[in-house]
Amino acid sequence: MSVDKRKNITAILGPKGGVGKSTIAANLAIALSRMGKKVVAVDLDLGASNLHAIFGMRGSPKSLSDFIQNRVKNLADVVSTTSIGDLGIICGGDDPGIANMPHQKKIKLIRHLSSLNYDIVLLDMAPGASFNVVDFSIIAQQALLVTTCEVPSLLNVYSFIKSAVFRRLTFFLKHNKWFELLELLNQAKEPDKHPHLKTMEGFFSEARKTDAAAADSARKMLARIKPLVVVNRVRTDKDARVGEVIKNLLKEYLSIETAVIMTIRDDNAVGDAIAKLSPIMLDAPSSPFSQDIQEIASRIC
Shortest Å distance, C-beta 17 to ligand ATP? 4
Q: Which of 14, 92, 93, 243 binds ligand ATP (CB under 6 A)?
A: 14
Cβ-based burial of 160 (10 A; exposed 0-12, middle 13-18, buried ≥19): buried
Asked if 20 interacts with ligand ATP (CB under 6 A), we say: yes
| Bridge partner residues of 13 (DSSP) | 145
Does the protein bind other proteins through residue 166 (CB under 8 A)? no
* Residue 232 in the binding site for ligand ATP (CB under 6 A): yes
Q: Are 51 and 22 in contact (CB under 8 A)?
A: yes
Distance CA 83, CA 87 (A): 8
Provide the minimum distance between the beta carbon of 1 and other proteins in the complex, in angstroms, as a whole number: 6
Does residue 92 bind ligand ATP (CB under 6 A)? Answer: no
Residue 58's Cβ-count burial label (10 Å; 0-12, 13-18, 19+) is: exposed
Nearer to Mg ion, 45 or 283 (CB): 45
4 binds other proteins, rule: CB under 8 A: no
Is 21 a binding residue for Mg ion by CB under 5 A? The answer is yes
Cα–Cα distance measured from residue 40 to residue 75, given in angstroms and rounded to the nearest whole number: 12
Q: Considering only residues 159 through 198, tell me which ones interact with ligand ATP, judged by CB under 6 A.
A: none
Tell me which of ligand ATP, Mg ion, other proteins, none is bound by residue 271, counting a contact when its beta carbon lies within the kind-specific cut-off of 5 to 8 angstroms: ligand ATP
In whole angstroms, give the CA distance from residue 158 to residue 156. Answer: 5
Residue 235's alpha-carbon distances to 13, 14, 272, in angstroms, are 21, 19, 18
Q: Give the residue from 25, 40, 28 showing the smallest Cα distance to 75.
A: 40
Residue 34 within binding range of Mg ion, rule CB under 5 A: no
For ligand ATP, what does the binding mask look like between residues 238 and 267, x meaning CB under 6 A? --------------------------x-xx
Q: Which long-range contacts (CB under 8 A, 24 or more apart) does 101-108 make?
A: 101/46, 101/68, 101/132, 105/68, 106/132, 106/135
Q: Which of the stretches 6-14, 26-34, 89-97, 258-266 binds other proteins when contact is defined by CB under 8 A? A: 258-266
Q: By CB under 8 A, how many residues form the interface with other proteins?
A: 32
Residue 208-247 contact track with other proteins, rule CB under 8 A, x = bound: ------------------x----------xx-xxxxxx-x
C-beta closer to other proteins: residue 248 or 268 = 248
